[in-house]
């Protein structure tokens, strides 16, 4: 939101201030340690160097002094300490401290997730993981967020935290000049209505940290040591044996206590001026602090005593507080707060020349891996749930299965950290994330293969005879709760094949030369798979002509030079039922696309450009993992382009290769665009309505940032739309700044972005399978950053090994949708999910050797589907269907009683509780049909899992019974623009629930045991 729109809203509260001048200032000193779950050092290195000591020493020090407090944030570290380090006595002490409110868990996720490049489903997962553990172990439910370090703030987060039951939300990194203006106008606190559809229903009080952010002031005028950090800075790889750390602040002594107090009081007063109430949040800590809590508290205790004994004179009192203590005191003042609408705080710039928009693309390979692995986990979760219900039919050990899922849940949660998926970590930490994701993947693929194997044995006894044939078997699982029609691509070593399904029916298939392996072939199979079901296909070499997959034919066009456009050859059309793509053989570039339903033709060209980044700090701003600081405009990175059209019955593929030099042997960039020849009727609608593009980019030259620029004749007025976490769209008009305009107009695209013609509403939609930076550098243009390779000589980057010398080749995928506003509005959310959760293919090599599925000739003809499909209405997304394996009573008081009396003991995971979460995909008023509230009968929808005994609605992360969840009400001034009235969602009636636009509702389902 631009500054000017903010000011009237911010200035308003000034007038409401009462007798503020006489109130003493109350400083809430909140001890905390910001513990990055990987950044420069791995998790194990961090545990050894400081993280374990944080909990060990903090627990001891809290026990020692009754008024002392501490907030704990990242659950991954806490759980490692709890499971591997803590003694029984320490565990008992933690329970006591929690009960007394002296130790408080805030946020409660496994990590402090990034808000710009993560997907909503993954944010929910990482919160659910942490909250599940905290609730099961301690019976506690975090009530406040602590998003102090993510690089910008999404408008989906306030909604998420409201749904999780939080009473207040806290952020810090927002655009520097906006923060400055808000500070001056005392507007750092407001009630945020993050979702336009949910508005007041899921609003949340939000505190933006002031300019000092989450660290205590870093320097003391009387000391050359850093701020209030008496324990110094953590030492890697091991703590120093003598306990002496570098940069320890001078101990507080009678000689200097007055100076210390003066600095603290002056800072509190400076900050108090930026807030409307005399309550000041004074975070005490920073990165990797409190590993030696005894020194910390031993120095702060006398300092607080000193200040409080002179409170009248100093005008300040100071007390240790948890975040909850601060928010409770603030809430009790019953102030009327201003509101903020659904605009986010992205992008984030920390200074005029420091736009944090590079990380939207940094480490593109990790970004896509995180998403693909998350999608696999999603599939594994529902597949396992369907294995367990209505009754497990096989030899699979459920405890082992749960372990595989658990390991991957942890890995996917970890990579959501704000120095993980962001690509801002050191290479060794990147390797750690990749390793954890790979190990977890292996386990879950094993689990899925075992389920297929078990099912095959169960459903087709006797097929385990005969000899192993040439060819392969593929089991393809559709993890979405809708029937999906799509193309599955397999790589095969032989050109003549036939594909049959489990009933022996021949499948439509096409074979063509592979773009990835020169000696192999791509086999494209058209599949239709019902919701949460799998199909099995057999691929066999053939010799006859009858049953073979059709061979695509290739037409080649000679290379064309960039600077010349000779010739007057006619445009070459490639068409399916939905689009005609016109290629210009004079340039070998895309010329235009006609959308057939609206008969609208949009001129459209695509090319690769590169920004040349500066790597020398002496010569100006640098681009690095975080920052994008282009050194001028982007330049074309190619001189010639070659074109091939691979035409087939099922799919036509347009292959464009871009060469850096006209005569170069190897291309540097490629685009492979696919159109599927399916009818746009029911089933084929989504597949027909997309142009699938895959690019090949890299390795880049050093200090290059590569973009794909699509230029169209849409009258977009240079307004771009891009999403917050795949949950909601933001309007991004191009803004002009005194400096750094280009970089500050980059935004994250997690799942989608679009341009809209202001005259006729036509839209060009991009859907992404990984996060990218996007911008609209000119009218009708959308530019997607695809890859970055950077090195610079900034000492800080070099010391931490945080340069981005990424030499990888990346293969990003975008799906393009073109059409009227109405058509694309209806298609966009579903198509985005179709890309995110593509069917999972398990090949015969992975399937258990003793399973029938891996052996025998073609599967014996049998009933095509053993399991009842799960199908939701078109506007509902099955956000999760899983067996979380938590062991606690659904009744809070019963659970707390059990914990108190120590009954929990060695209880087994509860495998009977099924977690279900539904998400309405559309905003209110967006579509006449799809935006309607939708009623589902869960019993009918989940009939394939058995007879339902009970449906309980829960908070987002499952820890609250929704009927008992009462969040604090923060008073707001009436807002005439408060959005559309929202209808309150009602508790489920039996198994019937109604989901309103943009609602996300979470349930525990209990099925009848068979």
| Interface with Zn ion (CB under 5 A) | 36, 149
Q: How far is the CB of 46 from Zn ion (least distance, A)?
A: 12
When the beta carbons of 433 and 521 are compared against Zn ion, the nearer one is 433
3-state secondary structure 336-359: CECEECCCCECCCEEECCEECCCC
Please check whether residue 396 is in contact with residue 385, taking contact to mean a CB–CB distance below 8 angstroms.
Answer: no
Nearest to 383 by CA among 529, 257, 238: 529
Which residues are registered as beta bridge partners of 498? 540
When the beta carbons of 286 and 687 are compared against Zn ion, the nearer one is 286
Length of the chain: 1010
Q: How far is the CB of 83 from Zn ion (least distance, A)?
A: 23
Q: How far is the CB of 190 from Zn ion (least distance, A)?
A: 24
When the beta carbons of 198 and 286 are compared against Zn ion, the nearer one is 286
Structure tokens at 962: 């929704």
Residue 342 burial by CB count (10 A; 0-12/13-18/19+): exposed, middle or buried? buried
CA-to-CA dists, residue 97 to 86, 522, 639, angstroms: 15, 60, 67
- Alpha carbon 765 to its chain's center: 20
The rounded radius of gyration (Å) of the Cα atoms in the chain is: 29
When the beta carbons of 36 and 45 are compared against Zn ion, the nearer one is 36
Q: How far is the CB of 435 from Zn ion (least distance, A)?
A: 21
Q: How far apart are CA 583 and CA 597, in angstroms?
A: 20
Q: How far is the CB of 425 from Zn ion (least distance, A)?
A: 10
φ and ψ at 296, to 5 degrees? -60, -55
Q: How far apart are CA 362 and CA 151, in angstroms?
A: 14
Q: What is the DSSP string of 151-218?
A: SSB-SHHHHHHHHTT-SEEEE----HHHHHHHHHTT-SEEEE---TTTGGGG-EEEEE--TTTTSPPS
Q: How far is the CB of 126 from Zn ion (least distance, A)?
A: 15
Residue 702 gets which letter from DSSP?
Answer: T
Residue 593 gets which letter from DSSP?
Answer: E
User: Which residue matches tokens 């979380």?
Assistant: 884
Q: How far apart are CA 697 and CA 695, in angstroms?
A: 6
Residue 361 gets which letter from DSSP?
Answer: T
Q: How far apart are CA 725 and CA 919, in angstroms?
A: 14
Nearest to 109 by CA among 41, 159, 166: 166
Which residues are registered as beta bridge partners of 1000? 919
Please check whether residue 576 is in contact with residue 681, taking contact to mean a CB–CB distance below 8 angstroms.
Answer: no
Residue nearest to Zn ion as judged by C-beta position:
149
Helix, strand, or coil (residue 141): coil
When the beta carbons of 149 and 325 are compared against Zn ion, the nearer one is 149
When the beta carbons of 76 and 149 are compared against Zn ion, the nearer one is 149
Q: How far is the CB of 418 from Zn ion (least distance, A)?
A: 5
Q: How far is the CB of 103 from Zn ion (least distance, A)?
A: 21
When the beta carbons of 144 and 337 are compared against Zn ion, the nearer one is 144
Structure tokens at 191: 């009630």
- Our answer to whether residue 715 is catalytic in this structure is no
532 torsion bin: left (phi>0), alpha (psi -120 to 50), beta (else)? left
Q: How far is the CB of 887 from Zn ion (least distance, A)?
A: 32
Q: Which residues contact 462 (CB under 8 A, 6 or more apart)?
A: 860
When the beta carbons of 287 and 952 are compared against Zn ion, the nearer one is 287
When the beta carbons of 36 and 341 are compared against Zn ion, the nearer one is 36
Q: Which residues contact 890 (CB under 8 A, 6 or more apart)?
A: 913, 952, 961, 1004
Which candidate in 36, 114, 149, 419 is catalytic? 149
Strands of 187-321, DSSP E: 189-192, 204-208, 279-287, 316-320
**The dihedral formed by the CA atoms of 555, 559, 560 and 563, expressed in degrees to the nearest 10:** 160
Q: How far is the CB of 403 from Zn ion (least distance, A)?
A: 30
When the beta carbons of 36 and 121 are compared against Zn ion, the nearer one is 36
Q: How far is the CB of 37 from Zn ion (least distance, A)?
A: 9
Q: How far apart are CA 481 and CA 878, in angstroms?
A: 6
Q: How far apart are CA 460 and CA 462, in angstroms?
A: 6
φ and ψ at 88, to 5 degrees? -60, -35
When the beta carbons of 220 and 370 are compared against Zn ion, the nearer one is 370
Catalytic positions: 149
């Amino acid at each position: 939101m631009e500054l000017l729109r903010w000011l009237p809203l911010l200035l308003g509260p000034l007038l409401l201030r009462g007798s503020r001048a006489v109130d003493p200032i109350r400083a809430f000193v909140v001890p905390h340690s910001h513990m990055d779950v990987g950044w420069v050092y791995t998790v194990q290195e961090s545990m050894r160097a400081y993280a374990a000591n944080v909990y060990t020493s903090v627990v001891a020090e809290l026990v020692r002094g009754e008024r002392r407090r501490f907030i704990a944030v990242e659950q991954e570290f806490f759980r490692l300490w709890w499971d591997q380090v803590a003694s029984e006595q320490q565990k008992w002490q933690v329970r006591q401290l929690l009960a007394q409110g002296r130790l408080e868990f805030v946020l409660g996720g496994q990590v402090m997730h990034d808000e710009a490049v993560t997907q909503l489903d993954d944010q929910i997962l990482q919160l659910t993981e942490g909250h599940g553990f905290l609730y099961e172990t301690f019976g506690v439910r975090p009530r406040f967020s602590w998003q102090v370090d993510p690089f910008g703030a999404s408008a989906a987060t306030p909604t998420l935290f409201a749904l999780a039951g939080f009473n207040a939300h806290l952020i810090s990194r927002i655009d520097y000049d906006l923060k400055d203006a808000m500070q001056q106008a005392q507007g750092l606190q407001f009630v945020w209505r993050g979702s336009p559809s949910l508005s007041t229903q899921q609003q949340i009080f939000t505190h933006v940290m002031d300019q000092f952010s989450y660290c205590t002031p870093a320097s003391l005028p009387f000391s050359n040591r850093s701020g209030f950090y008496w324990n110094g800075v953590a030492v890697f790889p091991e703590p120093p044996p003598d306990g002496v750390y570098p940069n320890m602040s001078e101990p507080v002594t009678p000689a200097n206590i007055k100076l210390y107090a003066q600095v603290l009081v002056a800072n509190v007063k400076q900050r108090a001026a930026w807030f409307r109430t005399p309550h000041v949040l004074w975070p005490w800590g920073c990165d990797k602090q409190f590993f030696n809590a005894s020194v910390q508290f031993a120095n702060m205790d006398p300092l607080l005593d000193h200040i409080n004994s002179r409170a009248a004179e100093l005008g300040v009192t100071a007390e240790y507080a948890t975040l909850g203590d601060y928010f409770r005191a603030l809430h009790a003042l019953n102030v009327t707060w201003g509101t903020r609408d659904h605009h986010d705080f992205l992008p984030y710039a920390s200074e005029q020349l420091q736009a944090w928009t590079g990380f939207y693309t940094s480490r593109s390979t990790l970004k896509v891996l995180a998403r693909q692995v998350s999608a696999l986990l999603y599939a594994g979760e529902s597949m396992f749930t369907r294995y367990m219900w209505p009754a497990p039919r096989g030899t699979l050990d459920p405890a082992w299965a749960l372990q595989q899922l658990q390991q991957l849940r942890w890995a996917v949660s970890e990579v959501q950290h704000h120095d993980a998926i962001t690509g801002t970590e050191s290479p060794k930490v990147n390797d750690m994330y990749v390793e954890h994701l790979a190990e977890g993947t292996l386990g879950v693929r094993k689990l899925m293969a075992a389920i297929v194997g078990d099912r095959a044995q169960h459903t087709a006894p006797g097929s385990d005879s005969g000899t192993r044939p040439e060819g392969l078997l593929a089991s393809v699982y559709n993890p979405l709760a809708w029937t999906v029609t799509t193309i599955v691509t397999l790589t095969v070593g032989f050109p003549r094949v036939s594909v049959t399904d489990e009933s022996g029916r021949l499948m439509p298939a096409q074979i063509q030369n592979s773009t990835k392996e020169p000696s192999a072939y791509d086999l494209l199979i058209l599949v239709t798979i019902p919701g949460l079901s799998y199909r099995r296909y057999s691929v066999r070499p053939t010799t006859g002509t009858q049953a073979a997959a059709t061979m695509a034919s290739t037409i080649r066009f000679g290379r064309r030079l960039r600077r010349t456009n000779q010739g007057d050859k006619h445009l070459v059309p490639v068409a399916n039922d939905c689009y005609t793509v016109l290629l210009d053989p004079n340039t070998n570039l895309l010329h235009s696309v006609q959308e057939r339903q609206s008969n609208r033709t949009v001129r459209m060209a695509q090319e690769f450009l590169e920004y040349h980044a500066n790597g020398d700090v002496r010569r100006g701003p640098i681009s690095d993992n975080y920052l994008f600081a282009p050194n001028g405009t982007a330049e074309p990175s190619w001189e010639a382009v070659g074109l091939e059209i691979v035409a087939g019955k099922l799919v036509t593929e347009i292959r464009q290769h871009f060469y850096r030099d006209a005569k170069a042997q190897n291309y540097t960039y490629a685009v492979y665009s696919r159109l599927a020849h399916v009818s746009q009727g029911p089933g084929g609608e989504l597949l027909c309505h997309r142009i699938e593009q895959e690019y090949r980019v890299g390795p880049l030259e050093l200090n290059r940032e590569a973009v794909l620029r699509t230029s169209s004749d849409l009258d977009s007025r240079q307004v771009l739309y891009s999403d917050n976490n795949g949950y909601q769209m933001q309007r991004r008009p191009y803004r002009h700044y005194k400096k750094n305009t280009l970089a500050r107009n980059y935004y994250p695209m997690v799942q989608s972005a679009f341009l809209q013609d202001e005259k006729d509403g036509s839209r060009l939609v991009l859907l992404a399978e990984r996060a990218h930076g996007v911008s609209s550098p000119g009218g009708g243009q959308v530019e997607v950053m695809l890859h970055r390779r950077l090195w610079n000589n900034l000492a800080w980057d070099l010391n931490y090994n945080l340069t981005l010398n990424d030499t990888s080749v990346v293969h990003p995928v975008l799906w393009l949708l073109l059409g009227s506003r109405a058509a694309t509005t209806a298609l966009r959310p579903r198509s985005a999910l179709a890309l995110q959760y593509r069917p999972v293919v398990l090949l015969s090599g992975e399937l258990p050797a003793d399973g029938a599925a891996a052996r025998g000739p073609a599967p014996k003809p049998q009933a095509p589907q053993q399991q009842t499909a799960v199908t939701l209405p078109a506007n509902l997304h099955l956000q999760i269907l899983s067996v979380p394996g938590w062991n606690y009573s659904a009744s809070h008081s019963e659970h707390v009683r059990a914990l108190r009396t120590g009954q929990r003991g060695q209880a087994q995971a509860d495998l009977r509780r099924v977690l279900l979460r539904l998400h309405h995909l559309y905003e209110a008023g967006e579509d006449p049909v799809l935006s309607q509230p939708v009623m589902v009968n869960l019993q009918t929808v989940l009939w394939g899992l058995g007879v339902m005994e009970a449906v309980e609605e829960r908070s987002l992360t499952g820890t609250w019974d929704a009927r008992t969840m009462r969040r604090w009400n923060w008073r707001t001034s009436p807002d005439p623009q408060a959005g559309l009235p929202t209808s309150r969602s009602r508790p489920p009636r039996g198994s019937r629930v109604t989901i309103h636009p943009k609602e996300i509702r979470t349930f525990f389902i209990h099925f009848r045991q068979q």
